[in-house]
A and B are shown apart, each in its own frame.
Chain A
Amino acid sequence: MATGESAGLVHPVQTANHQYQYLFHPKHHGRGGPREAQWSKELRRDQEFAVFDLADIHDLLDGKGHLYGLRLAPNREILELGTLGQQVAMFPRARPDEPWHGYPLSPLRRVSPPHPEERDVPTEVLRRMVERGLLNEIERRRLEKGRRA
């Protein structure tokens, strides 16, 4: 992605699996419009990176190479990670040698989202999250229906 994100910070740590770099994009940290997906203000940067790292560790990819992550509590509860109660984050595939970025994903497909890539999390990714022990079947079913897990 272009370097307009120069205003954002790149996390000093790379992901454990593929050594991806991660950028905290200002657009999703208060600089975007009111309808732009925003990370929760309670989320620290290392916690946001942990969502991305978990996505990379478990290869939570869709067919286009986008990654999807969750914020899990120590008791494995799925925590909210966006200002609108979102529980899944999407990380659009980055160009080679460029940092990734991500944002909380709406549980619903949106007709006119501010971000062109924002769609509902693919069912195959939810099923992979179950296979990897990140979601249980009840949570998968709720997310698949656009509900809060």
Chain B
Amino acid sequence: MNESHVSGHVNRLAGEEISWVGESPWTGGLCLGTYSGRLIMPVDERTAVGFDHPIANGAINDVAFAGNLMGVSTRSEVVVFERVPSSVHFARRGEPFGGGSHGIVATAAGGFVAPLGPDGLLLIEAKEGPDRHLKMRVGQIGQEVVNCYKLARLGVEGIRGEVIACAARHEGLLFFSLDRGEVQPTIVRLVLPGFDLVDVCSLRSPQWPLAAAALGTDGSVFLSRNILEVAPDSLRLDVLTGRAYSLLSARGHLFLLTSDGMVVVNDLAKQFLASGTLGDYVHVSGSTILMQAADAFLADDEVFFDCEGGTPSIAIDRLVGNIQNSQSPILPGSFEGSMATDSVNTGVISASSRILPIHLDRSSADWASAPISRGSAAIR
């Protein structure tokens, strides 16, 4: 196996450990959650929109944006914030939900859904009108205990409406649709005996809005072009070692994070979407990035890693081998809007965010990378 190196950056936020990375549609730049419960949106390396204190109890494990609302989840609570009109600032909306969630996704109706493990789903709806209150409900799936672990918003299709996928650990994969924030009665459950499903993601195909991929802890990947109508094909990469943690899909590629590193499988989603099947065998190409990380995130055409001592990020193009030496921008840092700090919205119950001084360092780094030999995937 020929080992080479892949270049990227290590991002460090002074005084904080970054626990989550995503994009903020409000600032047009990154959004960072921290292990201390802070959330900041860097404007550049020295300033950010945010609070100088924790906004949630515990490490932020997910953030979702729905219009002018932002949902933030930790293992201890779920908190909703609202953007101050004509501003990049935000303030808390309503009281937090006092239970933890594994994550949170935004819905087309402008609300959120959060997986509460065996307690089911938290549905958050933002009411319009003079009171503008938040409606939070916990819904169980059927009569049995289903361990709702990770959610992914797939797409909107025909009469089904908006379809959400749920990786439910040993209980398989669940699919439910939402109509104006309400879970529709028909819930599809795909039982996969012997597999512990810990992640699910959309394949982000406009042509196949219900195309999804799911991940088992043993590294098995399940793929379907229309998860509600076609049973998924599955494969397991021989090169994959360690416990599988998370699965990402972007630009037709798949990124599998395990306790030993990240396996990048070039074009697998693209090829699968084109043919609808993995066939009797599959030729895969890609690489393994040797990096121990607790989590991985897609943001701003980069994959970010939750690692000890900093937050590495590698451009997607570089991960899939399309570029060797180009320079990434320091930060995607521009935003529009005024700096208003007053909030008079009914339902907003805290002071709004402000411009903070920060120290965000971004230094270059290399990681060992080994190519995946062709044909090293076993199809079940």
Contacts and interface: CB of A to CB of B under 8 A. Distances in A.
Contact of A145 (B75, B119, B198, B217): B75
A35 B118 CA distance: 8
B102 A108 contact: yes
Interface residues of A, number: 25
A109 B61 CA distance: 14
A111 to B, nearest CB: 4
Contact of B295 (A107, A111, A147): A147
Interface string B89-127: 000000001111110000000000000111100000000
Contacts of B75: 107-109, 120, 144-146
Interface stretch (A4-12, A61-69, A134-142): A134-142
A19 interface: no
A34 interface: yes
Given A138-B294, A141-B295, A146-B102, A123 B58 contact: yes
A145 B99 contact: no
Contact of B99 (A35, A110, A147): A110
B199 to A, nearest CB: 10
A108 B170 contact: no
A144 B217 CA distance: 19
A43 interface: no
A83 to B, nearest CB: 9
A20 B258 CA distance: 38
Interface in A71-98: 77, 84-85
A28 to B, nearest CB: 14
A138 B292 contact: yes
B145 A145 contact: no
A120 B169 contact: no
> Which of B59, B98, B138, B293 has the most A CB atoms < 10 Å from its CB?
B59
Contacts of B59: 141, 144-145
A3 interface: no
Interface of B is mostly: loop
Interface of A is mostly: loop
A99 B157 CA distance: 57
B52 interface: no
A34 B58 contact: no
A142 B97 contact: no
Nearest to B20: A145
A106 interface: yes
A148 interface: yes
A32 to B, nearest CB: 12
B77 interface: yes
Given A84-B147, A146-B61, A107 B117 contact: yes
B202 interface: no
B101 A138 contact: no
B19 A145 contact: yes
Contact of A141 (B35, B74, B117, B198): B35
B145 to A, nearest CB: 6
Contacts of A141: 19, 35, 59, 294-295, 306, 308
Given A85-B196, A108-B102, A145 B77 contact: no
A138 B288 CA distance: 18
Nearest to B169: A85
Nearest to B98: A111
29 contacts: A107-B102, A107-B117, A108-B75, A108-B102, A108-B116, A108-B117, A109-B100, A111-B97, A111-B98, A112-B99, A120-B75, A120-B76, A123-B58, A136-B292, A138-B293, A139-B294, A141-B19, A141-B294, A141-B306, A141-B308, A142-B294, A145-B294, A147-B61, A147-B245, A147-B294, A147-B295, A148-B149, A148-B198, A148-B243
Given A120-B100, A141-B306, A141-B308, 16 more contacts: A84-B117, A84-B145, A84-B169, A107-B102, A110-B100, A111-B98, A111-B138, A120-B58, A138-B259, A141-B19, A141-B294, A142-B245, A145-B294, A146-B61, A147-B102, A148-B149
Interface of B: 19, 35, 58-59, 61, 74-77, 97-102, 116-119, 138, 144-145, 147, 149, 169-170, 196, 198, 217, 243, 245, 259, 292-295, 306-308
8 A-B pairs closest in CB distance: A146-B75, A108-B100, A111-B99, A141-B294, A145-B61, A137-B308, A109-B100, A109-B76
